[in-house]
Structure 1
């Protein structure tokens, strides 16, 4: 299975990155192909709501930036993993820009290979996930109709813990 991980953390050695790495190690160990993109290291502009993708563009965004790399990986992916620290009850702004740009990738229909979705979230507090979960359920489960492969969270002292990283490794290993 080809898995695309969109990492929305600006911290190259932070908790979210550690969780993504553990997940990827597990998935690769059983033969999956994992592409992890650190979206904060990319030049990706927000959606302009110009409707080009739904008219003349026929699903192609008018903006030519690093999002093109994500569009290509998204077309080839069987599974998508959204990974982010929680900022103000939601995913990072950089990752939100990427998800907003899915508007063109999902037109006139979602990428044909894409079937599954999972989310990996890191927070200081256990009660901060509502905004991210709203997007996960609305954008990915309901709108795109993807199969829920799970939501994995770490908060406070769980961040970076061996127990939590082992859980993410086992999740990657369990995928079929």
Structure 2
């Protein structure tokens, strides 16, 4: 199976990278092809709401890195969204990417399954992102392969996720596919 991880963290080597990397290792060991796209390192503009895409088979009028992301998604069977939670939701960088997928997602993309990886310093901050994920899965008709949330991840102490005993759950989720 072709798996694409959209990593919304702007922090290279941080907690989300570590969590997504563990998932990717498990999925690769299970025999899947995995590509991770760090959307926060891409130039992906927000949707303009101009409706151009609706009359042009999902092609956006904006010419930026989203074209390459969509090319990868054109071959993706399982989509994994990975994000830290900063203000009760996925990062803005990941949200821009998801907004730009909207016109093509229902009909043109081969995605049939999805998973969600979230981490935060605080407990009780995951519900907004989880609600958005559940809505997407329902709307697009994807199979929900799992949601993993890990709290207690600090940014002041690099390597917090590497020392977290729950990191193994990310690996096992990838391996279980």
TM-score by length of 2: 0.92
**Residue 162 of structure 1: how far off its partner (Å):** 4.5
Q: The residue matched to 2:79 in structure 1 has which SS? A: strand
155-164 vs 78-87, greater mean Cα deviation:
155-164
Matches of 1:162 and 1:134, distance apart in 2: 25
Number of paired residues? 171
**Residue 94 of structure 1: how far off its partner (Å):** 0.6
Q: How does 1:43-62 map to 2 (within 5 A)?
A: 43-55=43-55, 57-62=56-61
- 2:99 corresponds in structure 1 to 100
The question of whether the paired residues in 1 share the 8 Å contact of 2:7 and 2:82 is answered with yes
- 1:123 corresponds in structure 2 to 120
Distance 1:125 1:110, change over 3 A: farther
Q: Are 1:145 and 2:141 an aligned pair? A: yes
- The runs of 5 or more residues in structure 1 that have no matched partner are none
Matches of 2:108 and 2:133, distance apart in 1: 15
The question of whether the paired residues in 2 share the 8 Å contact of 1:110 and 1:144 is answered with no
Distance 1:144 1:110, change over 3 A: farther
- 2:23 corresponds in structure 1 to 23
User: Pick from 161, 164, 176: which aligns with 2:163?
Assistant: 161
**Residue 83 of structure 1: how far off its partner (Å):** 0.3
- 1:171 corresponds in structure 2 to 173
TM-score by length of 1: 0.92
* CA RMSD in angstroms, aligned pairs only: 1.4
Matches of 2:32 and 2:58, distance apart in 1: 28
> Deviations for 1:99-128, whole angstroms, at most 9, x for unmatched residues?
110122226x151x2110000001111200
The question of whether the paired residues in 1 share the 8 Å contact of 2:57 and 2:104 is answered with no
- The runs of 5 or more residues in structure 2 that have no matched partner are 154-159
Q: How does 1:28-43 map to 2 (within 5 A)?
A: 28-43=28-43
